[in-house]
Amino acid sequence: MIAPMGRSVYARLMRSTLLLAAAFFTHGLAPAQSDLTVAGLGRDLPLKVTTSATERVLLVDLILDEEWHAYARDVGGGRPVELGVDAGCDFAAAGPTVLPETVGARLEGTVRLRLPLERTGEGDELRATLSIQVCDALECLVPMTLTLSGEVKPLGVLLVVAEPGARTERIAGWLDGRGFAVDVATYADVTLAACDAHDVVLADSNVFQAHGVDRKTIQRFPRTATPVVAVGFIGTELVEAHGVAMTSGYI
């Protein structure tokens, strides 16, 4: 982290850094996870619903009170859970809903539903519908239809390099393939506005003195509030130039 941290900046740092780290260690998922709004769930029910999405998957967590359950499929009792993407938004289902393995088709405790997504529009709007009925040993409540909605945007990464080349293309391609929105700048022309406009700044360099960036250029690096992940020899120079008290090895 380059800039001094207030509470809001620290929260942004943790969110962005965790998202970036999660993307590095999970394959095939877009990392920009956005929370969605759940509408239609009444109060004092034995069910809570939280939901989030990336560009490639919609995640719905059902939290059922003890002794209550829902159904994964039709077994002649309560109505099974159904999850689908609404027509007219910027996404569509890319496959069937993935449900956890169950005993007797019952969904109990905390359950995660996963619906693969594909982007079909130019915007970021996602709308989905969850149909669910919950039961206990004595009764089944009236079936509920919940609306899940929000915007799903990719995490913006500013990749800062000594000069564009094959290494830059390889890193940008790797990030792009995992759902990041990547822009590239050089150490000579990077600006504070560009850093502040992104969720994460990835400051890359070749090893030791091979990067070709002089110390004065490094010392002029913007003091942005955006989390900065500094890699390689320039990373050491950056944390020293900005008086950062602690860092951790090389990636």
Going by C-beta distance under 8 Å and a sequence separation of 6 or more, which residues neighbour residue 164? 184, 186
pLDDT band at 190 (very low <50, low <70, confident <90, very high): very high
pLDDT band at 234 (very low <50, low <70, confident <90, very high): confident
Q: Look over the chain and give the mean of its residue pLDDT values, rounded to a whole number.
A: 82
Lowest mean pLDDT among 8-12, 151-155, 186-190, 199-203: 8-12
Whether 250 maps to a domain, the answer reads: no
- Burial status of residue 35 (CB atoms within 10 A of its CB: 0-12, 13-18, 19 or more): exposed
pLDDT band at 247 (very low <50, low <70, confident <90, very high): low
Pairing of strands 37-39, 144-151: antiparallel
Give the count of domains, the chain. 2
Q: Rounded to an integer, what distance in angstroms lies between the CA atom of residue 235 and that of residue 212?
A: 14
84 and 118 assigned to the same domain: yes
**% of the chain residues with pLDDT over 70:** 80
237 and 159 assigned to the same domain: yes
CATH of the domain at 170: 3.40.50
Whether 47 maps to a domain, the answer reads: yes
CB-CB contact of 85 with 38 (8 Å): no
pTM greater than 0.85 (yes/no): no
138 and 45 assigned to the same domain: yes
Whether 246 maps to a domain, the answer reads: no
> What's residue 73's pLDDT?
87
pLDDT exceeds cutoff 90 at 135? yes
Nearest to 41 by CA among 117, 106, 129: 129
The pLDDT tens digits of the residues spanning 40-92 come to 998 899 999 999 998 889 999 999 999 999 999 887 777 899 999 999 999 99
Q: Rounded to an integer, what distance in angstroms lies between the CA atom of residue 27 and that of residue 184?
A: 23
Helices (H) and strands (E) in the chain, counts: 5, 15
Whether 177 maps to a domain, the answer reads: yes
Whether 90 maps to a domain, the answer reads: yes
CB-CB contact of 70 with 135 (8 Å): yes
Domain span at 109: 34-151
> What's residue 4's pLDDT?
43
